[in-house]
Amino acid sequence: MNYRLKPQPMKSAVLIIFSVLFVFSACKSRNHQNHDESVFVVSTPYVTDTTLYHEYVCQIRSIQHIELRALEKGYLQNIYVDEGKLVKKGQLLFQILPVVYQAEAQKAQAELNFAEIEYQNTKALADSHVVSKNELALAKAKLEKAKADYELAKAHLGFTEIRAPFDGMVGRFNDVRVGSLLDEGELLTTLSDNSKMWVYFNVPEAEYLNYVKERKTDHPFKVKLQMANNEFYNEEGIIETIEADFNNETGNIAFRATFSNPDRILRHGETGNIFMPSLHKNAMLIPQKATFEVLDRKFLYVVNDKNEVEAREIEVQDELPHIYVISSGLKKNEKILIEGIRKVKNGDKIQYQEKSFQTIIQELQSLKSE
């Protein structure tokens, strides 16, 4: 048995109308989307005087850092300080058993007394012409020798006491304890004067020349120190000296900055980063996002009077977060493409809206903080 479906004109018409409306709506949506995408954001460079900071890895050193060593051989009798403690100049730190050296000093004192008596007796006889002048000279020589021996014995006795030669901080003990047998010259510990710190960092030749050009002899050149925890030290340092010669292997020269250290936060041997300021007059600033690279060369798109984009190579002199400082390749009144640089090619004509440099940077900073 054969069945034939009856036509349903109304239903087909509805489907056709719906399809047409859907296609029209989709086309309208795509056209609207394309129109939105064709409106690009442009801006102009921002020209201003600005200070940039160059960053250098640095080593932190005490202005005085010495080794304390035993000056005599003997048993360590006492330790009067602990590691990491602040001490004053002349403070007793270590005591080597002094018995032997005390005995030698007493013996030298007795020999000095005997030589003094012998000299006085000989002098009296020489004055009476009983003995010759040669005998008097010999007695005097013995007296001088006895004095020298006594002074030497006193020095050896004094060397049994190791005292701080300046105010400073005691370092780690070098495996010495009370009762240790010390050899002459054996390392006991270190002593660091941390009241001020010397911070060393290496500067490339080009930046050294810029520094020399900018430096004012009547004003100290100040730098900032970033510590290992990425926080900045609460006092600025002053560049006081530059090494005499460049390192031929690296092309760098060593700078030394001095930092006050009243709270003893900085310690000998720390590392960090020095930030050295560099003033740029009439610096031309652009957002980094406006650039693209081709074979390690930087380009951007300039929008001409016909609203056409032109690829332009630029030279970057320096950089800040989100910002490049441009040295060449761009004029201050030219419009540059900020967004959509991957969607255009050289010579394309575009529609655009203009945003200020400050607004663009604020938007980038707010995105980073989120």
The CATH number assigned to the domain holding 310 equals: 2.40.420.20
Mean pLDDT over 208-214 rounds to: 85
74 part of a folded domain: no
Do 319 and 286 share a structural domain? yes
Q: Supply the pTM of this predicted model.
A: 0.69
Burial class, 364, CB count within 10 angstroms (exposed 0-12 / middle 13-18 / buried 19+): middle
- Residues 111/116/121/125 CA torsion (nearest 10 deg): 120
139 plus 212 within the same structural domain: no
Read off the tokens for 369.
């903080």
CATH code of the domain in which 145 resides: 1.10.287.470
Cβ 38 vs Cβ 350: under 8 Å = yes
Is the pLDDT at 3 greater than 60, yes or no? Answer: no
Single-letter residue type at 264? R
Q: Are 289 and 270 part of one and the same domain?
A: no
In a domain, 258, yes or no: yes
Domain of 111, in residue numbers: 98-159
Alpha-carbon separation of residue 320 from 48, 139, 337, 358 (angstroms): 14, 83, 20, 14
In a domain, 275, yes or no: yes
The domain spanning residue 261 has which CATH number? 2.40.30.170
Is the residue at 80 inside a domain?
no
Are 290 and 150 members of one domain? no
Q: Number of structural domains, the chain?
A: 3
The answer as to whether 184 is a domain residue is: no
- Please check whether residue 14 lies inside any domain of the structure: no
Task: Classify residue 93: in a domain, yes or no.
Answer: no
58 plus 203 within the same structural domain: yes
Select from 112, 136, 159 the last residue of a domain: 159
**pLDDT value at residue 317:** 85
For residue 362, how many C-alpha atoms fall within 13 Å in the half-sphere facing its CB?
5
Q: Identify the pLDDT of residue 292.
A: 94
Residue 297 to residue 289: CA distance in whole angstroms: 15
Within 8 A by CB and 6+ apart from 136, the residues are: 122, 123, 126
So what's the pLDDT on residue 329? 93
Examine residue 21 and state whether it is found in any structural domain, yes or no: no
* Interacting residues of 209 by C-beta distance below 8 A, sequence separation 6+: none
Q: What is the pLDDT of residue 9?
A: 47
